[in-house]
Amino acid sequence: MQVISKIGRQKNNPERYNIYLNDTYAFAVDESTLIKFGLTKGKVLEQFDIDEITYEDEIAKAFNRALNFLSFQMRSEYEVKKKLLDAGFGEAVVLEAIKKLEKLGFLNDETYSKALLETKKKTAKKGPRAIKQDLIKKGIDKETQAKVLDSFSFNEQLAIAMELAQKAVRANQNKTPMQTKQKIQDVLLRKGYSFSVITQILDEIKLEREDDDWQQMIQLQGEKLWKKYASKYSGNDLRMKMKQALYQKGFPIEIIDRFLEEKEREQHD
What confidence category does residue 232 fall into, taking pLDDT thresholds of 50, 70 and 90? confident
pTM, two decimals, is 0.77
Reply yes or no on whether the pLDDT at 145 is more than 90.
yes
The answer on pLDDT for 181 being more than 80 is: yes
> pLDDT value at position 234?
84
CB–CB of 228/158 below 8 Å?
A: no
d(CA 182, CA 203): 13
Largest Cα–Cα separation, the chain: 112
Looking at per-residue confidence, does 264 or 181 come out higher?
Answer: 181
pLDDT digits (tens, 9 = 90+) for 96-127: 999 999 999 999 999 999 999 999 999 999 99
Instruction: Give the distance from CA 150 to its chain's centroid.
Output: 18
| Long-range contacts of the stretch 215-220 (C-beta < 8 A, 24+) | 215/255, 216/174, 217/174, 217/175, 217/176, 217/251, 218/246, 218/251, 218/255, 218/256, 218/259, 219/259, 220/174
What does the alpha-carbon distance between residue 144 and residue 156 come to, in Å, rounded to a whole number? 20
User: Residue 233: pLDDT band by 50, 70, 90 thresholds?
Assistant: confident
